[in-house]
Chains A and B, each alone.
Chain A
C-alpha cells in the first residue's frame, strides 16, 4: 500500500471509529477520557515531527502545551475573550516561545535543545506556582467559561467534534509535511547536516520550522484542554509529563504516521490501569519506559512496519544500468543556467589557518568556464580544505573567492549551493535512511516555488511542482543508471552506486560549478572509465568541474588544467602535460633523489 492510501485508510477508519463511539452512547467519563486522549495525540503528533523527522528532542513539550493552555485560560477568564480569539492567542504565544527556544540551540548540538527545553519547562512550572496574581499559584485558574463559537455554546457533545476535527487536522498536517520537500529536508538535515547544507537547505531554518510546528500543535492542544477541563493547574504541565509525551511517541514508533496515535492511546490506557497501584505508579512508569527502549526501540508501529517490509520485500529484479545514460534529457535536467562572463571561479590570495596550522596558504587560481580543473597534491596538501572554502564550509582567514564576478568568501554553504555550486564528499554523505529517489528529491528542494501554506493544503502549484520534480528525480536516477534502485534506502546501495547517486543528487541542484572530492576513490577500473565519461558529458553541457583526485591517470586524461598543491601552497599550475614534468611536482610526490622518476609517476600514484 502506498503511504497515500495508508493515510486515507487511517483517516476513514478513524472517522468511522469516532462516529461509532458516539452512537454507542458512551458515559460522560468515557467521552472525557477519549477527548483528553485525542488532545494528547495532537501534542505527540507535533513531537513526532520533531523527533522522528527533524531528529531533535524536546523535553519541555508539556510546558509548551501549558503555555497554550494558560494563555487561553487567562484570556478567557480575565479578559473575557471569546473561544477562537483565546485559542488563537494561545497558539501564537506557543509558536513565539517555540521559535525563541529553538533559534539559539539548533545551531549547535541536539542535546542543547534538550537542556534548553528542560530549563524552559522548569522555569514555566516555577512561574505557574509562584506568580499567584496571574496564574493562581498551585490552585490554578478556576471557572473558565465554556467556549462559544458563532453563538453556539460548545457543550460536551459539540466539543467532542471540535476536538476530533482538530486532531484530524493535525493528522493531515503531519502527513502533508512529512511527504513534502519540508519533511524530506528535515530528515536530510537529521541524517547528514553537511550534505543538506551543500544542497541549499538552510539547516537552521528547517529545524526552527520543525520546532515551531511542534510548538503550534502543542499550543492548539493546550487551548483545547483548557476549554475541555474549564480549569487548569500546573500539575498537568510538569517535567514528568514532558517525559510522558516522549514515551508516547517512542512507544508508538518515532517517524511513523500512526505512531503518535497508537502510543498515546496505549499509554493513556496504561496510566488508567496504573492508578490502581498507587505509590508504584511512577516506578512502573519508569520501568515501562526502559523496557520499551530495550524491547521495541522502533515502537509498536515501527516494529510492525519492519516485519511487513521483511515479508514483502521484493527480491531480485534490480539491475543497475550503464552510466552515463545518454538517453536522459540532460539539457532539461540541468536547466537553463546563465553562462559566465569571464572566469567561472577566481581565487586570490586565499589563506586558511586553524590555530597555528596553515592549511591553505595564499592560493590563487582561475577556473575557466566549461573546463575540468583538477587539484592534486600529496595527502594533507590542502586540496579538500580548498574545496571546503569554495563551498562555504570553511571561512577563509584571508583572501577572495570570486564566483561569476561576485565575491563569495564567507557566505554560508546553502547560499552558495543556491547560486549553483554543488559538491560531492570524499566519504560519500548520502541520506542513508532515505531512498535513492528521496536523496535526489532533496537536491531539487531549492527549485520549488510553492510556499509552506501551498504545501500544507496541497494547492495546485504544489501538486504541479511535486509531479514535475518527481519525474526529474527519476530521470536523474536514470541518467546514472540507478532507476531500478529508486525505492532502495541509500545505505543499502553498493559503494560504487552510492558514488553515482551522490553525483545525481548534486546534479539535481542544476550546478554551474560542480566540485568533486575524490570521486574515483574506491571505484573499480571500469567504474572510473564511466565516471570519466560522465564528467566529460557534463562539461560538454556547460558544467564547470573542479576535481580533487589522487588517481593521476584519470586526472591527466580528463583535465584541461591542473593545479598542484603542497603544504597548502600552489607549486605548479598549467596544462596537464606541463605539470606532469614539473620537477617541483615530482619532488613533492617522491622527494629528491638521483633517479629519474618521471615514468613511474603516472603508473604508481594512480590507484
Chain B
C-alpha cells in the first residue's frame, strides 16, 4: 500500500513538470500552429540560470524572478527569429529545424559554461520530507502539480476574461481575420511564446531543489511534454494538464512494477498506442476540413 502511494505522489510531482511544460506547447501551438521544439531546454535554462544567479549572491526569489524574465524574453525572441520567418506556409517545417538547432546550441553551450554536473539549490521546502501512510515526499515536489493546476486555471481565466487572452484565441482561430479586426497578430504570437517560456522556467526552478539542475535535464522532458500535449489533443488546457499528470504517474508505476530501464520504452509505446487509437488526441476537437 505504501509503495502504491509512493509511486502515486512522486508521479504526481513528475506529472506536474510534464503538465507545465506541455501547457507551454499548447499556448505556442494555439498562437502560431507551431511550437518551440526545444521547449525542454527553456525549462532547463530556467533552472540552471536560477542556480547560477543564486550561487553568485542573489537572494533566491530575485534569482528566480530574473531567470523567469530572461526565459520569457528568450521565448519572445525565439518566436521572432526562429519561428516567424520559417512558418509562412501552412505546411512549413522550417521552424522545427531552427528550434531544434537552438536547443542543441543552448544545451551544449550550457554544458560548456556550466559543466555537466548538477548543483544544488537549497530551499526550506526540500529539507524535511513529509511522511504519510508509508510514503514520503518533499513539500517542494508537491508544488509542481499545484503550480500546474494554478497555471491551467490562470490560463483559462486569461483566455476568457482578458482582452489580450481573447485576442490570442481569435488569433488561434483565424490569424488573418484577427489581423483584419485590428489585432496585432505578431505581437500576440511573441507574447504567447514569452508566456510559454516563463511557465517552463517556473517548472524548472521548482524542481531544481529536488533533482539538481543539469544541462541535460530538459531534452527528454521537452520531447515527452510535446508528446503529452499531442496525445491530449493540444486544444485545451485541462486536457493537457490531466494527461501530463497521468503520464508522470504512469512512468512512476512503470519504474516500480517493471523496471527503471523500461520507463521510456513502455511510456513512449503507450503514447504511440494512444495516438493510434485516438488520432485527434484524447481531448482534441475533430477539425472540419475547410474545402
Contact = CB atoms under 8 A, between A and B. Distances in A.
B100 A123 contact: no
Nearest to A120: B272
Contacts of B227: 115, 118-119
B109 interface: yes
B108 A425 contact: no
A123 B226 contact: no
A297 interface: yes
Given A110-B91, A123-B269, A285 B104 contact: yes
Interface string B242-266: 0000000000000000010111110
Contacts, number: 122
Interface in B63-98: 82, 85-86, 91, 93-94, 96-98
B104 A123 contact: no
Interface stretch (B9-17, B136-144, B273-281): B273-281
Given A51-B93, A126-B265, A283 B280 contact: no
A114 interface: yes
B61 interface: no
Band of interface residues on B: 35 or more
Interface in B161-208: none
B271 interface: yes
Contact of B86 (A105, A279, A293): A293
Contacts of B259: 130
Nearest to B106: A286
A57 interface: yes
B135 interface: no
Contact of B105 (A118, A119, A126, A283): A283
Contacts of B97: 246-247, 250, 289, 293
Contact of B108 (A110, A118, A282): A282
Interface in A549-584: none
B112 interface: yes
Contact of A286 (B86, B102, B219, B230): B102
B291 interface: yes
A138 to B, nearest CB: 11
Contact of B100 (A130, A282, A289, A393): A289
A119 B291 contact: no
Contact of B102 (A112, A114, A290, A297): A290
A287 B101 contact: yes
B111 A293 contact: no
A79 interface: no
B96 A119 contact: no
B100 A243 contact: yes
Contacts of B289: 194, 393
A115 B268 contact: no
SS class, residues of chain A in contact with chain B? helix
Band of interface residues on A: 35 or more
A122 B268 contact: yes
Contacts of A125: 264
B32 to A, nearest CB: 12
Which of B112, B262, B268 has the largest number of chain A CB atoms within 10 A?
B268
A104 B105 contact: no
Contacts of B146: none
A290 B98 CA distance: 5
Interface in A131-186: none
A104 B97 CA distance: 23
Contacts of A115: 226-227, 230, 275
B124 interface: no
Given A126-B265, A283-B112, A289-B97, A388 B226 contact: no
Nearest to A127: B265
A186 to B, nearest CB: 13
B239 interface: no
Given A289-B97, A289-B101, A119 B272 contact: yes
A190 interface: yes
Contacts of A311: none
A239 B227 CA distance: 15
A470 interface: no
A118 B275 CA distance: 13
Nearest to B34: A111
Nearest to A132: B261
A105 B272 CA distance: 10
B101 A107 contact: no
Contact of B96 (A114, A129, A240, A354): A114
Contacts of B269: 123
B288 interface: yes
A122 B279 contact: no
Contacts of A240: 104
A259 interface: no
Contacts of B220: 122
Which of A118, A286, A287, A297 has the largest number of chain B CB atoms within 10 A?
A286
13 contacts: A108-B279, A114-B96, A116-B275, A126-B264, A130-B265, A243-B104, A280-B112, A283-B108, A287-B105, A289-B100, A290-B101, A388-B291, A425-B291
Given A107-B279, A108-B279, A283-B105, 6 more contacts: A115-B226, A122-B264, A122-B268, A123-B264, A246-B97, A290-B82
